[in-house]
Structure 1
């Protein structure tokens, strides 16, 4: 009788231990959603349910969980893309993505579970970035990084609308120009400086020419005025006015002859001075 009782006790302990070995308490951490499925000894696993972390199932018989992080996260891609002018640019494309709450079952069954980004988004995201960059010259990419990001974001929102995958933002940065592009930029800068210097020199030369023309025009105008206004009658008038002024001079005697053939004015002689 005691032997039978001992055997019964051993059997109970063994059954309890074996049952405990098959029991699990699967846990889902904060920010995650858990996809719970059975873990049979034989046959295929079946969907059991979902849970929103932080939580656990409690002790259950042979189950397992796939936890998916639903929180926003940045996915960065190193890219090397030939531009429109056939120069290769190296840069990083950053996509901020979050997963729609309550979609863990769809993510696991249709989008690859924990590998949803690599399986369904990575190649599509890279292709969208490549399509935008290849339309631009190398010098345009840096100036239009915001435009590229906006265009790629719009394309991704359209592509993944109605799915568990939600794009928040796309940014392009860390552009690394190849050496030939750097040389081209420096050459263009130097050329622009040379052109600006030559433009300044040309404007200075043109200004000097304009000043010379203006001075020459002034001299020509003055000569024209003299030629057209200083006629013989006017000169005779000025000579008579000068005689009137000399007549008022004290102790001075002048002899005035009516006409000087060289100047069309009266001939004036000063007596005693030896001159005229």
Structure 2
């Protein structure tokens, strides 16, 4: 009787152990997958046994497949992305300037294992690139006076790009471009600039008005010269005979008019009449 009970207990215990092991195995099954544009770092995360560590690379979109091992995946976006850093930096003339820099970065395909194991995985930008990028920007900006920053922005972007590319040369990371965003001066400076521009505009308008007045004066002078010349010509041609001729013609026209009654008294010089109109 005792032997039967022991055999039964042993069998039950064996079935229970097998069942627990089977359940643990089933719950440990995983199917790592990687979306498009990403690379997946597949690694084992053992529960009871296994070596753990890197297993394979997935190039998305892809699935690793079901496995009895606890395989996990770290997906890294390999596509170009824009990383923005905002700054408030003292320029060489000690003016605090606010602006932003944008770096377009990507990761070389096939390098996900290196990225995860050597550069912080998903945090690669924060851990490896960010502070160096910011340092290069500060060094470039602080060599210029604030008034020169807008005119030198292209040169600053080129300098930062060259330094950052050299820094990333032996890494999985690739720099496409560095772009400077809006440059914002302190409010007092912005107001001063606006006032200066307004003054320049007003000065330009005054210069225009002055030029117009000068031209108007030149026109009036020329008109006066023309009038004087006309008067000179008229005075030179107003001889006694010409005036007498004009007076006679005027008398004839008046005499022929039915609307006026005019009496001519030839008492003027050379018979030119004094005219009196009767009403």
Aligned residue in 2 for 1:19:
25
Say if 2:44 is the partner of 1:38.
yes
Query: Is this contact kept in 2: 1:25–1:60, CA < 8 A?
Result: no
Tell me the C-alpha RMSD between the 2 structures: 3.3
CA spacing shift, 1:131–1:44, aligned 2, 3 Å: farther
Query: Could you tell me which of 106, 130, 150 is aligned with 1:98?
Result: 106
* Correspondence list, 1:108-147, <5 A: 108-147=116-155
Aligned residue in 1 for 2:261:
none
Task: Give the superposition deviation at 1:143.
Answer: 2.6
Query: Could you tell me which of 68, 79, 97 is aligned with 2:87?
Result: 79
3-state SS of paired residue (1:16): helix
* Correspondence list, 1:1-276, <5 A: 13-41=19-47, 45-58=52-65, 59-190=67-198, 192=200
CA distance in 1, matches of 2:52, 2:22: 24
Runs of 4+ that moved beyond 4 A: 3-13, 190-204
Task: Give the superposition deviation at 1:157.
Answer: 0.8
Task: Give the superposition deviation at 1:114.
Answer: 0.7
Q: Deviations over 1:41-86 (max 9, x none)?
A: 3698422222211112212411221111111100111111111211
3-state SS of paired residue (1:102): coil
Aligned residue in 2 for 1:244:
none
CA distance in 1, matches of 2:95, 2:150: 14
3-state SS of paired residue (2:93): coil
Query: Is this contact kept in 1: 2:42–2:54, CA < 8 A?
Result: yes
3-state SS of paired residue (2:182): strand
For normalisation by structure 1, the TM-score amounts to 0.64
Q: Deviations over 1:105-156 (max 9, x none)?
A: 1111111111000001111111111112112222222233222222211111
3-state SS of paired residue (1:71): coil
CA spacing shift, 1:197–1:8, aligned 2, 3 Å: closer
3-state SS of paired residue (1:94): strand
Query: Is this contact kept in 1: 2:34–2:59, CA < 8 A?
Result: yes
For normalisation by structure 2, the TM-score amounts to 0.64
CA distance in 2, matches of 1:56, 1:107: 20
Unmatched tracts of structure 2, length 5 or more: 213-279
Q: How many residues align?
A: 211
Query: Is this contact kept in 2: 1:29–1:55, CA < 8 A?
Result: yes
CA distance in 2, matches of 1:16, 1:144: 69
3-state SS of paired residue (1:169): strand
CA distance in 1, matches of 2:11, 2:46: 33
